[in-house]
Structure 1
Amino acid sequence: MIVDAVNTVEAARRQWRTPADRHCLPVVFIEVVCSDPVVHRRRLENRSRRIEGFAGPTSEVVERRRREFAPWADHRLVLDATTDLSSNVATALGFLSATA
């Protein structure tokens, strides 16, 4: 299972660990960041969600979440969204293979 979620606090991250532990399944976290604030804002503003009734977060909401973001304690891979997609996919696949 792959979950695409913003897990700003430990409680949100725990919701994925707990059922995995209960079923003896591994959990692997990959954090995606965007190191360029201009690119991040542009991508957010031009994003098409295609989810009826869901407007998506504003730049203000994203910035508030960034300020509230709790540090990670889990081992994880951090990818930068400014890196080309094929490189990020290759890195992620390598990480997943190494942790399996």
Structure 2
Amino acid sequence: MFLVRVATGVAAYEAVRAAAEQNLALGRTVVVDAVNDSEPARDTWRRAAAATLSPLRFVLLTLDDEGEHRRRLEERTRNLGHVPEPTWEDVRRRRASFEPWSGPHLRVNASAPVHEVAGVILTQLGSLRPVARTPDP
């Protein structure tokens, strides 16, 4: 089962990357909500941004309160049909293999209500100097 999930994860990242690149090429803003637990996963988005000469910002949401993290996981319902919800043990295994970030990223504590977390992210991203987009030749 784990190998199937990994293969599905890679395919999902690549499908989302292709859609993100198409939208970035049209000048749209793209937000990808993904675990990005490894440098190869993060490179997916770096490649998409580079291919379209688009700025890229990573936001790492953290929730250090393990009890709250588990409660949120166990109470959520995404209704994704053929995709099973992760168990707490799945989350623990993934956390144990999570690769440290080596590049720039914004780290935000996600313990507050979602509207407050979103406000912090928007404020912080707005204060970052945008990366200039190079015009097409």
TM-score normalised by the chain length of structure 2: 0.68
Aligned equivalent of 1:62: 91
Structure with more strand by fraction: 1
What is the distance in 2 between the residues matched to 1:54 and 1:13? 22
Distance in 1 (CA, whole Å) between partners of 2:58 and 2:122 is 12
1:30 aligned residue: 59
- The one-letter amino acid of 1:71's match is P
Structure scoring higher RCO (CA < 8 A, sep ≥ 6) equals: 1
The answer to whether the 8 A contact 1:33-1:79 is kept is: yes
AA at the equivalent of 1:8: D
Q: Percent identity?
A: 36
Please report how far the alpha carbon of residue 51 of structure 1 lies from its aligned counterpart in structure 2 after TM superposition.
1.2
Give me the TM-score of the superposition, normalised by structure 1. 0.91
Q: 1:83: how far off? A: 2.0
What RMSD in Å do the two structures reach over aligned CA positions?
1.2
| Residue identity matched to 1:95 | Q
Alpha-carbon distance, 1:87 to partner: 2.8
Other-structure match for 1:78: 107
Structure 2 unpaired stretches of 5+: 1-29, 131-137
Task: Out of 47-56 and 57-66, give the one that drifted further.
Answer: 47-56
- Which structure is larger by alpha-carbon Rg, 1 or 2? 2
Cα contact 1:49–1:55 (8 A) shared by 2: no
Instruction: Find the residue that maps to 1:45 and give its secondary structure.
Output: helix
Question: Between Structure 1 and Structure 2, which shows a larger proportion of helix residues?
Answer: 2
Unpaired runs of 5+ in structure 1? none
Matched with 1:45 is 74
User: Which residue does 2:49 correspond to in 1?
Assistant: 20
Query: How many Å separate the matches in 1 of 2:115 and 2:77?
Result: 22
Deviates more, 1:83-92 or 1:69-78: 83-92
